[in-house]
């Protein structure tokens, strides 16, 4: 079966750095996405990785290793507004998006 | 980026009634739209994939006669929850992609929270 694993919840301090991991087992691979979702709102796009390596976009970076079936989202200089759920999703060989359950990130002052 | 608008944001209805949710792509033509359902503290569950001008493809376990999807134009898809029951109460989210679905980003609507009394 297809599976996306990510931690259920993480806590970090304002101003710090946090890394949210995602491991996947899917039938084929056509890209990995990270989305941010605040409570009661729809997801918003953060990043897209299709090749191995690190993609940096401001305070957020996303890393992919296809051989290991592994990705992480790195958030730097954490702000209170970063408190949200972070969803990892993989597009499989049929271009279907397989979603992780999301990681709830709690930022403390 | 591209904008997807969803309406209504909130809807409360009585059990047994039908509710229609609209999803519009405002500044691009959405050849494919996706409908998701999300229960509290759970991830997105794909309900169906809708291509303009053709019948929607429903995921296993989703009743096509209960969740009617229409994608009559390149900018509008609708989801109608027929004979709604309290267990249908959920957060429904649509998303759309412009052009061929291999270029990356999927654009989401704001979501519609349905409460069935």
* Partner-chain residue, chosen from A30, A42, A100, that has the shortest CB–CB distance to B93: A42
Q: How far is B102 from chain A (nearest CA, A)?
A: 8
Q: How confident is the model at residue A83 (pLDDT cuts 50, 70, 90)?
A: very high
* Partner-chain residue, chosen from B44, B102, B113, that has the shortest CB–CB distance to A99: B44
Query: Is the four-CA dihedral B71, B101, A21, A47 of positive or negative sign?
Result: negative
**How many Cβ pairs within 8 Å bridge chains A and B?**
41
State the pLDDT at residue B74. Answer: 87
Mean pLDDT of A2-26: 96
- A83's tokens: 């408190």
Residues of B in contact with A87 (CB under 8 A): 43-44
Please name the residue of chain B whose CA is at the shortest distance from the CA of residue A45.
B105
Mean pLDDT of B16-34: 91
Q: Which residues contact B96 (CB under 8 A, 6 or more apart)?
A: B2, B4, B23, B25, B28, B30, B32, B33, B34, B77, B106, B107, B109
Residue B54 has pLDDT above 90, yes or no: no
For residues B27 and A60, give the distance between their C-alpha atoms in angstroms, rounded to a whole number: 27
Mean pLDDT of B40-63: 88
Residue A58 near residue A71, CB atoms below 8 Å: no
Residue B101 has pLDDT above 60, yes or no: no
Residue A40 has pLDDT above 70, yes or no: yes
Share of chain B above pLDDT 90, in %: 62
Give the other-Cβ count within 10 Å of A88's Cβ: 27
Mean pLDDT of B73-87: 94
Phi, psi of B15 (to 5 degrees): -60, 135
* Partner-chain residue, chosen from A31, A44, A99, that has the shortest CB–CB distance to B104: A31
State the pLDDT at residue B3. Answer: 85
For residues B105 and B48, give the distance between their C-alpha atoms in angstroms, rounded to a whole number: 18
Higher pLDDT, residue B43 or A14: A14
For residues B32 and B52, give the distance between their C-alpha atoms in angstroms, rounded to a whole number: 7
For residues A19 and B74, give the distance between their C-alpha atoms in angstroms, rounded to a whole number: 39
State the pLDDT at residue B72. Answer: 81
Q: How confident is the model at residue A64 (pLDDT cuts 50, 70, 90)?
A: very high
Residue A5 has pLDDT above 60, yes or no: yes
Residue A95 has pLDDT above 90, yes or no: no
């Amino acid at each position: 079966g297809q599976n996306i694993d990510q931690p259920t919840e993480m806590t970090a301090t304002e101003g710090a750095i946090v890394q949210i991991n995602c491991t996947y087992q899917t039938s084929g691979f056509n890209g990995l996405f990270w989305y941010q979702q605040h409570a009661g709102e729809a997801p918003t796009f953060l990043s897209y990785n299709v090749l191995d390596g690190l993609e940096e976009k401001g305070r957020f970076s996303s890393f992919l290793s296809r051989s290991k079936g592994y990705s992480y989202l790195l958030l730097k200089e954490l702000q209170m507004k970063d408190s949200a759920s972070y969803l990892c999703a993989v597009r499989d060989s049929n271009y279907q998006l397989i979603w992780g359950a999301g990681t709830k990130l709690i930022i403390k002052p | 980026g591209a904008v997807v608008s969803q309406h209504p944001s909130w809807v409360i209805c009585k059990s047994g009634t039908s509710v229609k949710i609209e999803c519009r792509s405002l500044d691009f033509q959405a050849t494919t739209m996706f409908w998701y359902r999300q229960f509290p503290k759970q991830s997105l569950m794909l309900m169906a994939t809708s291509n303009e001008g053709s019948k929607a493809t429903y995921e296993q376990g989703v009743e096509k006669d209960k969740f009617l999807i229409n994608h009559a134009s390149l900018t509008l898809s609708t989801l109608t929850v027929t004979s709604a029951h309290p267990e249908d109460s959920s957060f429904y989210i649509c998303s759309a992609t412009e052009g061929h679905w291999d270029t990356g980003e999927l654009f989401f609507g704001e979501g519609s929270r349905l409460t069935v009394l």
